[in-house]
Chains A and B, each alone.
Chain A
Amino acid sequence: MKTRKAATVLATAVVLALGASACSSSSSKSDGGKGGGDKNAVADAALTSIVNKSDKKGGTATYEVSDVPDSLDPGNTYYGWVQNFSRLYGRTLTSFKPAAGKEGLEVVPDLAESLGKPSPDAKTWTYKLRAGVKFEDGTPITSKDVKYAVERSNFAPAALSNGPTYFKAHLEGGDKYQGPYKDTSPEGLKSIETPDDQTIVFHLKDAFADFDYLATFSQTAPVPQKADKGADYVKHIVSSGPYKFSSYEEGKGATLERNPQWDKKTDSIRPALPDKISIKFKILQPTVDNSLLNDSLTADAAGTGVAPQTQPKVLGGKYKKQTDSSYAGASSYIGLNVHVKPFDNIHCRKAVQWGIDKASVQQAQGGDPKGDVASTLLPPTVNGYSKFNLYETPNSSGDIDKAKDELKQCGQPNGFETNLTARSDRPAEMAMATAVQASMKKIGITANIKTFPTGKYFTNFVGVPDYVHSHNLGMIMTAWGADWPTGFGFLDQIANGSAIKPSGGNNVQELDDPQINKALNDAIGNTDAAARTKAWGDIDKMIVDNASAVPLIYRKNLLFRPDSATNVTVTQAYLGMYDYLLMGSSK
């Protein structure tokens, strides 16, 4: 009997010991000798500088991502990281300057010679293309290729439905044009003119001073009509950038090699360091992280940071100096629906603003590495951010007296009961909702948590005003990141009355304040960039003063840069991921 027990115990012990050794933090891997690593780099160095700076060409930059992209086709993608990555094989009219810190938010001409020339009313935008730019097959790129690219990407949802449709929304006649697959007339969409091969003119139906930002979208990367196979174009994308596809496997990955037709002289923003680039899809996040720690990978293409289980490993000890905790260009906030009683009363909304313990919410979502306490809707890395705090409380942990005072003014001195929604499959959001619930309890508000799946959150539930009203969803947890990093790009979809839709809307608080709407519409028509930028901060203040949105967290990514990655910097323009145009590899 003794032997039996001993043997069983031994067997179990062997298995457990294996487990324990994998969890222990010591590593037999030696530190030095690999070369390439920037020994002086400290944590967060890539937020403000280019780490491991290099102009050495050669090597292979390798990327992995835990998801699959919506598409690598520049005309069929909405994903931020694809917008960043696609610049390696697609040149857009304008792009963001590949630079560290605030400079990365600057729009610079790419395929165009200069930024767009607006008419005084900001309704007509003219771009001149650079001379001598060619597709990978040697054909010169003309303005017609850009026009075609915009047409297919915005107007053919039956085949290419993934991308944003801002061009459709703003171009004259955009609501009628059927797209190049249905409408085969040679002139196409009339509001995009191509008077000659180098010139392209966009006629908009409304004044839109952020147009240079729209022109940074991968949708303006030229596509030769004769090579377009609709949804199948992704299998043979024609490159206009320094790299062209040498292979593409649906759902698995792709490899890129140098495009000999790309001429450095026509391109001032791409150092194009690596000789080859490979990207693999659907690699389990912990495996991606392991490869980063192992220095067998250049970057996690998704750029949203390491998995929660990797976090403790990189935050302590020798890995710490290789991390960058970057602002993700997104804020988490609670929308207080102004049509759900008693939030129709501003004092009840202000009670929440004063009473909420943001510090506990920050802890709940993962602490400092995952986000900072927010007092504005605009995150710090969006053009137009201005710092203010209208509801300042000690340590951001709420002010119960002020909250109770507002409740009295609202006619609810003993508090009230309402519902708080969150996405059930987002653990951080669920944890935040629990913290919000606890701090509401302290001021007498009972918030019952209602959860919904992410995929249908906006289309079926919180984005459907009828559903929200009938189910009394007063407090709606949400998060928002801009499609382009300006105050308008950020605020218009979540605070303009025109963004309220019967379904799928993001203005969950149903804020329709004539003053805010007017301020947004006026500012976007103003071609004076400085005045526009100032306006965004003012509008942000108006929204928070209206108290229908409770800013919680400026979200952050915990990025990891391996030793072999060169020219590493965080780009603020692309949701705080690394800039893939700059990136090289010493391997």
Chain B
Amino acid sequence: MAAYIIRRLFAAVLLLLVVSAVTFAIFFLVPRIAGQTVDQLAAQYVGKDANADAIAAVKKNLGFDQPIYAQYWHFIKAVVAGADYKFGPDASHCAAPCFGYSFKSHVEVWPQLTSRIPVTLSLAIGAAVIWLISGVAVGVLSALKRGTFFDRFFMGVALAGVSLPIFFTGMLALGILTVQWPVWGSGINYVSFTDNPAQWAWNLLVPWCSLAFLYSALYARLTRAGMLETMSEDYIRTARAKGLKESTVVAKHGLRSALTPIVTIFGMDFGLLLGGAVITETVFSFKGIGEYAVKGIQDNDLPIVMGVTLVAAFFIVLCNLLVDLVYAAIDPRVRYS
């Protein structure tokens, strides 16, 4: 088991390296293929008054005058060993893991990222709890009561949930709950959990539900399909035939098997969300990883894009690893040794 985890972690590091190299290449090489000069690249970070002196200074300070492989090497070195930068009278040290400084604002990326992780984490965990519970519950009940009003009604809602994008449901919820019936009359703002847990949950409720609406719909349909398939298996009939209680049949034999694909997709979804619930964070103006990513992309700010990409990739890899470990627990056939 330990050897398996170590092997997987090693692979993860390699994967992150590849992701970073690809991001770097897309950023620097693609514009160059399209004919952009290094000066034009640097001019994007100079502000409105891009005179030649300013462009030259920025180009030098951001290291654009060096070959791309050297720039990549500096980036990787900074992540591992830290680096020194000079954006003022004195040089300042950026300790490892140093993801560099924003090209635009010259502010360190890593502290920005870490300060935003709690926001994204709060959003993702709360939403995940809601969508897992409601999605799986609705899915199971719909499967068991197949064809009834309950099934049809909730599958109808689920269809709506899958089809309605979050920028619609989220904006709608915001419009209704802050203006129409101002339950959240002073707006929905993120409050840190450590500051005020009650306020934290209260203000996150709407984003959680908007996000969970989309996912639980998906999960309900998945669970329903999985349950329907499992419940028609021979071993379920056997379980019933040997006189087990229906609840035991459903929970221990049906659900456990139907859950395997749900866990897989949950790992992917959750990892992806931790890398930034881009649309939800934008709609609710939450300062999470996703919102940071949008800003980085809008500004063509490579260190930010790089930081967010790597954090997202890290979470996806991590969640997938956890999923694989969970398999061992829920599927007796899986062994890592």
**Residues of chain A whose beta carbon lies under 8 Å from any beta carbon of chain B:** 3-4, 7-12, 14-15, 18-19, 21-22, 27-29, 68, 70-71, 78, 157-159, 161-165, 175, 180-181, 228-234, 249-252, 280, 282-284, 286-287, 290-291, 293-294, 296-297, 455-456, 459-460, 503-504
Q: Which of B17-25, B86-94, B233-241, B258-266 has 4 or more CB atoms under 8 Å from chain A?
A: B86-94
Alpha-carbon distance A557/B101, docked complex (angstroms): 35
Alpha-carbon distance A294/B184, docked complex (angstroms): 11
Assess whether B295 is in contact with A7, with CB atoms less than 8 Å apart. no
Assess whether A10 is in contact with B175, with CB atoms less than 8 Å apart. no
Tell me whether B176 is interfacial, beta carbon within 8 Å: yes
Alpha-carbon distance A442/B87, docked complex (angstroms): 56
Q: CB-CB contacts of B151-184 with A at 8 A, as 1s and 0s?
A: 0111111011000100000011011101111100
Give min CB distance, A558 to chain B, whole Å. 18
Count chain B residues whose beta carbon lies closer than 8 angstroms to a beta carbon of A.
Answer: 62
Supply 28 A–B pairs (Cβ within 8 Å), ascending by A. A7-B153, A11-B157, A12-B156, A15-B164, A68-B295, A158-B57, A161-B46, A161-B47, A162-B48, A165-B49, A165-B54, A175-B53, A181-B88, A181-B89, A231-B106, A231-B107, A250-B107, A252-B287, A282-B285, A284-B282, A284-B285, A286-B171, A287-B285, A290-B175, A294-B179, A294-B186, A297-B187, A460-B40
Tell me whether B76 is interfacial, beta carbon within 8 Å: no
Assess whether B48 is in contact with A158, with CB atoms less than 8 Å apart. no
Q: Which residue of chain A has its CB nearest to the CB of B155?
A: A8
Task: From B36, B160, B285, give the contact of A11 (CB < 8 A).
Answer: B160
Tell me whether B194 is interfacial, beta carbon within 8 Å: no
Task: From B46, B176, B180, give the contact of A157 (CB < 8 A).
Answer: B46
Q: Could you say which residues of chain A place their CB within 8 Å of the CB of B149?
A: 3, 7
Task: From B61, B115, B178, give the contact of A158 (CB < 8 A).
Answer: B61
Supplied contacts A7-B152, A15-B160, 16 more A-B pairs, CB within 8 Å: A8-B155, A18-B172, A22-B175, A29-B179, A158-B58, A159-B86, A161-B47, A181-B89, A231-B105, A232-B92, A251-B292, A284-B283, A287-B285, A294-B178, A296-B185, A460-B40
Assess whether A15 is in contact with B157, with CB atoms less than 8 Å apart. yes
Assess whether A163 is in contact with B49, with CB atoms less than 8 Å apart. yes
Q: Could you say which residues of chain A place their CB within 8 Å of the CB of B53?
A: 157, 175
Q: Could you say which residues of chain A place their CB within 8 Å of the CB of B152?
A: 3-4, 7-8
Alpha-carbon distance A390/B99, docked complex (angstroms): 58
Alpha-carbon distance A21/B176, docked complex (angstroms): 8
Alpha-carbon distance A228/B115, docked complex (angstroms): 25
Q: CB-CB contacts of B17-53 with A at 8 A, as 1s and 0s?
A: 0000000000000000000100010011111111101
**Residues of chain B whose beta carbon lies under 8 Å from any beta carbon of chain A:** 36, 40, 43-51, 53-54, 57-58, 60-61, 86-90, 92, 101, 105-107, 112, 115, 147, 149, 152-157, 159-160, 164, 171-172, 174-176, 178-182, 185-187, 282-285, 287, 291-292, 295, 300
Q: Could you say which residues of chain A place their CB within 8 Å of the CB of B49?
A: 78, 163-165
Give min CB distance, B106 to chain A, whole Å. 4
Assess whether A22 is in contact with B90, with CB atoms less than 8 Å apart. no
From known contacts A10-B153, A161-B46, infer whether A229 and B57 are also in contact, taking CB-CB under 8 Å: no
Return the 3 tightest CB-CB contacts between A and B, nearest first.
A230-B88, A11-B156, A157-B54
From known contacts A21-B180, A22-B172, A290-B178, infer whether A158 and B87 are also in contact, taking CB-CB under 8 Å: yes
Q: Could you say which residues of chain B place their CB within 8 Å of the CB of A460?
A: 36, 40
- Residue picked from B40, B106, B115, B182, most chain A C-beta under 10 Å: B106
Q: Could you say which residues of chain B place their CB within 8 Å of the CB of A14?
A: 157
Q: Could you say which residues of chain A place their CB within 8 Å of the CB of B174?
A: 286-287, 290
Alpha-carbon distance A378/B62, docked complex (angstroms): 39
From known contacts A3-B149, A158-B57, infer whether A163 and B47 are also in contact, taking CB-CB under 8 Å: yes
Give min CB distance, B45 to chain A, whole Å. 7
Assess whether A231 is in contact with B285, with CB atoms less than 8 Å apart. no
Q: Could you say which residues of chain B place their CB within 8 Å of the CB of A504?
A: 43, 50
Alpha-carbon distance A232/B87, docked complex (angstroms): 8
Give min CB distance, A480 to chain B, whole Å. 12
Alpha-carbon distance A572/B101, docked complex (angstroms): 37
Q: Could you say which residues of chain A place their CB within 8 Å of the CB of B47?
A: 70, 78, 161-163
Task: From B36, B51, B180, B300, give the contact of A165 (CB < 8 A).
Answer: B51
- Residue picked from B46, B57, B58, B115, most chain A C-beta under 10 Å: B57
Q: Could you say which residues of chain A place their CB within 8 Å of the CB of B88?
A: 159, 181, 228-233
Give min CB distance, B281 to chain A, whole Å. 10
Give min CB distance, B102 to chain A, whole Å. 9
Q: Could you say which residues of chain B place their CB within 8 Å of the CB of A4?
A: 147, 152
